Amino acid sequence: MLWGVLRSHRILPRHLMLSSRRFQEEKAPKVKSLPPEERGRYKVATIPNAICAGRIAATPLIGYLVVQHHFTPAFALFTVAGASDLLDGWIARNVPGQKSLLGSVLDPVADKLLISTMFITMTHAGLIPLPLTSIVILRDVCLIAGGFYKRYQVMSPPYSLNRFFNPQVSSMQVVPTMMSKINTVLQLSLVALALASPVFDFSVAANEAIFALGCATAVTTVYSGLQYASGKAIKKL
The pLDDT, as a whole number, for residue 237 is: 56
What residues contact residue 14 under an 8 Å CB cut-off, 6+ apart? none
**In the 8-state DSSP scheme, what is residue 178?**
H
Least confident of 5-19, 39-53, 177-191, 205-219: 5-19
Q: What is the mean pLDDT of residues 117-123?
A: 96
Each residue's pLDDT tens digit, 39-59: 556 677 888 888 999 999 999
Q: What is the mean pLDDT of residues 186-193?
A: 94
The pLDDT, as a whole number, for residue 13 is: 52
% of the chain with per-residue pLDDT over 70: 74
- Reported as a pLDDT band with limits 50, 70 and 90, residue 76 is very high
The Cα 224–Cα 230 span in angstroms is 10
Taking the model in full, what pTM does it have? 0.71
**C-alpha radius of gyration, the chain, whole number:** 21
Each residue's pLDDT tens digit, 147-173: 777 777 777 777 777 776 666 665 666
Torsions phi, psi of 234, nearest 5?
A: -125, 130
The pLDDT, as a whole number, for residue 18 is: 44
The Cα 221–Cα 112 span in angstroms is 12
The Cα 193–Cα 189 span in angstroms is 6
Q: What is the overall mean pLDDT for the chain?
A: 79
Each residue's pLDDT tens digit, 3-39: 454 444 444 455 444 444 444 444 445 555 555 555 5
Greatest mean pLDDT among 45-49, 95-99, 189-193, 227-231 lies in 189-193
DSSP string, 108-164: HHHHHHHHHHHHHHHHHTTSS-HHHHHHHHHHHHHHHHHHHHHHHHHPPSSP-HHHH
Residue 98 has pLDDT above 90, yes or no: no
Residue 105 has pLDDT above 70, yes or no: yes
The pLDDT, as a whole number, for residue 20 is: 45
